[in-house]
Chains A and B, each alone.
Chain A
């Protein structure tokens, strides 16, 4: 016969126990970092989800590539050819500049700029929570992705890798409220730290004295300090400079140059690992 009352602890006792376990889990995960193996095992289980969600995009892309009209192809070809011509002309100048740069560096007795290898990856998911600006990309440790790797798009720096699984990885964007990146002003080399505000179109420069020479429209590039991001990649453009005589620091806002909300393809920068591991001399170049 079926019992009239269900046995076992009461509903709210169970809720209390599970709530306390959850709080312990949060602290163990976020503060202590004890649960990394568990998270990586669970992530491996959920990774097919991203593939399922990405499937329509893959199909439509394949369809778009397969079924293209002749005139469209011809038009694309022409515009691409023109673009190649323009880029070639520009890269000719770049070669000269690079050679000149190397000479000057030799004169200054400093080591050569480290060049990084780039690899294209595809964005397969973005965090469903506006408070966490993270994206999931379809390259993982199988492709050589590593923690702290810089992620770029065609127009600037996007963020860095914070979680690596075998077939995908998660990157935090520079606009996340918990992210900050050391930058310098391209025009005059003034250094500062650029912090995310949890908004896609606005970043903030920290602790800039009111008298510093920073103007609206200045380009901020990564400074390479902190030895996390390579030097010299565009990060943001200054959009407003407000100096209040009552405050010791100027309030300076900037807009990311990368299209954080639009890029579907991102670039992973494989910097020579020695930059990250060796002493400060190399990292600062």
Chain B
């Protein structure tokens, strides 16, 4: 799977879609439960195509997310770089897991990402309140089977897998 080439445009398009989903206006109580779309997208590419989407790409994706979300520049870049490095490390094992186990693993990785954001916010910038952002990790994990199924269909169509 690793040696198959993926057009860069498909990666960029998936990220643009993720940013659009991120900025859709929802009220704050709902916003707590929104999945981290950019993280999931980054995770998918990092696990299945690590030669295309590495730590540096994740860092840049996070930097753009900071601009979109109005965060201090670097908060998301920091958490994405480290959690995606972790994802690439466990990638070979992740790929042979069942979807159920993958979902659980996505929760763990998304929770790591949220905790890193929480730390970066608290230590270097605005104080963040509570750990309610972990709900985002839960929903991120819950949408994973859908995204996995969808992207597998796309990959079949383009003969990537």
B31 at the interface (CB under 8 A from A): yes
Which residue in B3, B20, B56 is a CB contact (below 8 Å) of A52? B20
Q: CA of A8 to CA of B67 in the docked complex: distance in angstroms?
A: 30
B59–A22 CB distance below 8 A: yes
Contacts of B126 in A (CB 8 A): 30, 131-132, 177-178
Give a binary string over B111-136; 1 marks a CB under 8 Å from any A CB, 0 the rest: 00000000011001111110011000
Which residue in A26, A124, A177 is a CB contact (below 8 Å) of B25? A124
A38–B69 CB distance below 8 A: no
* Stretch of A10-18, A97-105, A228-236 contacting B (4+ beta carbons < 8 Å): A10-18
* Stretch of A43-51, A67-75, A209-217 contacting B (4+ beta carbons < 8 Å): A43-51
B12 at the interface (CB under 8 A from A): no
Band of interface residues on B: 35 or more
A23–B124 CB distance below 8 A: yes
B74–A132 CB distance below 8 A: no
A154 at the interface (CB under 8 A from B): no
* Contact A46/B68 with A14-B54, A22-B78, A53-B24 known, Cβ cut-off 8 Å: yes
Contacts of B82 in A (CB 8 A): 15, 18-19
B78–A50 CB distance below 8 A: no
What distance in Å separates the Cβ of B30 from its nearest Cβ neighbour in chain A?
9
What distance in Å separates the Cβ of B128 from its nearest Cβ neighbour in chain A?
5
A26–B78 CB distance below 8 A: yes
Q: CA of A2 to CA of B51 in the docked complex: distance in angstroms?
A: 13
Q: CA of A170 to CA of B66 in the docked complex: distance in angstroms?
A: 14
> Whose C-beta in chain B lies nearest to the C-beta of A163?
B70
Contacts of B20 in A (CB 8 A): 49, 52-53
Q: CA of A19 to CA of B129 in the docked complex: distance in angstroms?
A: 23
What distance in Å separates the Cβ of B92 from its nearest Cβ neighbour in chain A?
12
A134 at the interface (CB under 8 A from B): yes
A14–B31 CB distance below 8 A: no
B75 at the interface (CB under 8 A from A): yes
B127–A177 CB distance below 8 A: yes
Contacts of B145 in A (CB 8 A): none
A14–B23 CB distance below 8 A: no
A42–B85 CB distance below 8 A: no
Contacts from A to B (Cβ < 8 Å): 2, 6, 11-12, 14-15, 18-19, 21-31, 35, 38-39, 42-43, 46, 49-50, 52-53, 123-134, 136, 163, 170, 177-178, 198, 200, 261
